Amino acid sequence: MRSPTLAWVMVAAYQSEINYSISCFWDGGWTLKIGDEQNGFRSSSVYDTVGDLERDMPKEICRLYPKSRFAKEYAAQTDDEFS
């Protein structure tokens, strides 16, 4: 089954009230942080390409929030199961 797009992941995480931050700095890659400044970041990773970020972001959200609405919706669209 085809993986969800980055746009789908971003909107689904937002709708599930999962905070995240994506930033870039020219040749420094793409930084994904899951969490927020007020409550703390639970995860931070740097990716060379947006494709790598797109592949890993939903899996990292599911790892951190396995019982979330996001994890359930992601599992329904893919063969991955998170509980």
pLDDT for res 34: 98
Q: Which DSSP state fits 38? A: T
* CB-count exposure of residue 77 (10 Å: 0-12, 13-18, 19+): middle
Q: Using 50, 70 and 90 to split pLDDT, how confident is the model at 81?
A: low
pLDDT tens digits, 34-49: 999 999 999 999 999 9
Residue 81, number of CB atoms within 10 A of its CB = 10
Mean pLDDT of the chain: 93
Q: Which DSSP state fits 29? A: -
Cβ-contact 59, 51 below 8 angstroms:
no
The domain spans of the chain are 6-75
